[in-house]
Amino acid sequence: MDKVIVIVGPTAVGKTALSIELARQEGGEVISGDSMQVYRHLDIGTAKVTPAEMAGVPHHLIDICDVDEQYSAARFKQAASHWIKDIRRRHRLPIIAGGTGLYIQSLTDNLALGNDQDAAGDASIRARWERIAAAEGNAYLWQRLAELDPAASEKIPVGNRRRLVRALEVIEKTGRPFSQQPQGDRQADFLLLGLNTARQVLYDRINARVDQMVSQGLVEEARWLYQQGGVTLPAGKGIGYHELFDYFAGRSSLAAAIDKVKLDSRHYAKRQLTWFRNRMPVHWFDLVSGQDTIQDIKLLVDDWLKK
């Protein structure tokens, strides 16, 4: 069975740096587990790794989609599985790094998500739920989900329209609760490493990262996306972009939009932690505070590789 390292955790906690360090030490290649880094031209707001930061380590599933393409957990699972096999065939170590919980879990737990042909066939179901959402609001969708699948409604917040629509779509298609969709056997031996730190420290890092993104040109990058029709594009839903659209439309000040980016990023970090803590068997480390070190992680990795 192929061995694969997976590095998870909230935004701005150091996943990218750790993945590159381990790849250099263990002869690995990095597979991005991020739902937004797949989009070309969106570099700053997605905190995309730069060529200099890669330090010669090959990276995969970055810059593979145009901003009008719909990316999905099913597409990620299929592509990541391909790269795992390719990397192992070359006797190197696959290292997945990212914070998109559903994407990561779809791979590690081999969730049955369907494929792109299924997605195309279900377009009419999804479109109908999207129309209902637009007419009735998220609260109506959440109430319908609560009636059909209470367990799923407890895990999907009212504000996450995309996941509400997806859950209702799957229920209608399969006739089974979304929370009880079948899982398959694991296809690889995954070692899950999680990074985290004290909440206020993490929130300070997130705020500082947003400020750095703004100084690097985030507003200009978001404006480009807005001009491409970002309000209706799949890529336009990403944190760091949609908050600035109100500013471009004259409905918000720039300062308020940037504050909203920080707030949404902090809320997202909290949701990421909840997902990984509740759903996945993660070994947690705190590199930010110095409570743990990369050497501690390396010892765990080396022991796991020998088994």
> Residues forming the annotated binding site for substrate?
11-16
What are the φ and ψ backbone dihedral angles of 71, each rounded to 5 degrees?
Answer: -100, 155
Calculate what percentage of the chain has a pLDDT beyond 90: 81
CA angle centred on 15, ends 43 and 10, rounded to 5°:
90
Q: How many CB atoms neighbour CB 87 within 10 A?
A: 22
User: What does the pLDDT look like over 233-282, one tens digit per residue?
Assistant: 999 999 999 999 999 999 999 999 999 999 999 999 999 999 999 889 99
Query: pLDDT band at 46, cuts 50/70/90?
Result: very high
Mean pLDDT of 21-35: 97
Exposed, middle or buried by CB within 10 Å (0-12, 13-18, 19+), for 221? buried
Exposed, middle or buried by CB within 10 Å (0-12, 13-18, 19+), for 158? middle
45 vs 30: CA distance, rounded Å: 20
Q: What is the pLDDT at residue 116?
A: 46
Higher pLDDT, 133 or 118: 133
List of domains in the chain: 2-112+189-306 (3.40.50.300), 116-180 (1.10.20.140)
Q: What is the pLDDT at residue 12?
A: 97
> Residues forming the annotated binding site for ATP?
9-16
Closest by alpha carbon to 35, among 86, 83, 70? 70
CA angle centred on 23, ends 22 and 24, rounded to 5°:
90
| Global pTM value | 0.79
Q: What is the pLDDT at residue 236?
A: 97
Longest dimension (CA), the chain: 59
Q: Edge-to-edge strand order for the sheet containing 93-97?
A: 59-60, 28-32, 93-97, 2-8, 188-195, 283-285
User: What does the pLDDT look like over 204-226, one tens digit per residue?
Assistant: 999 999 999 999 999 999 999 99
Helices 73-89, 101-108: crossing angle, 10 deg rounding: 50
Q: What is the pLDDT at residue 119?
A: 44
Residue 127 has pLDDT above 90, yes or no: no
For residue 301, the one-letter residue type is V
Residue 183 has pLDDT above 80, yes or no: no
Query: pLDDT band at 22, cuts 50/70/90?
Result: very high
> Residues forming the annotated binding site?
9-16
Closest by alpha carbon to 36, among 63, 8, 75? 63
35 token code pair: 């739902």
Query: pLDDT band at 185, cuts 50/70/90?
Result: low
188 vs 304: CA distance, rounded Å: 13
For residue 16, the one-letter residue type is T
Mean pLDDT of 146-172: 89
Residue partners of 79: CB distance under 8 A and separation at least 6: 60, 61, 64
59 token code pair: 């990276």
Closest by alpha carbon to 69, among 97, 49, 41? 41
Residue 121 has pLDDT above 50, yes or no: no
User: What does the pLDDT look like over 59-72, one tens digit per residue?
Assistant: 999 999 999 999 99
126 vs 291: CA distance, rounded Å: 46
Q: Which of 70-74, 96-100, 170-174, 237-241 is predicted least confidently?
A: 170-174
258 token code pair: 């940037």
Query: pLDDT band at 184, cuts 50/70/90?
Result: low
16 vs 13: CA distance, rounded Å: 9
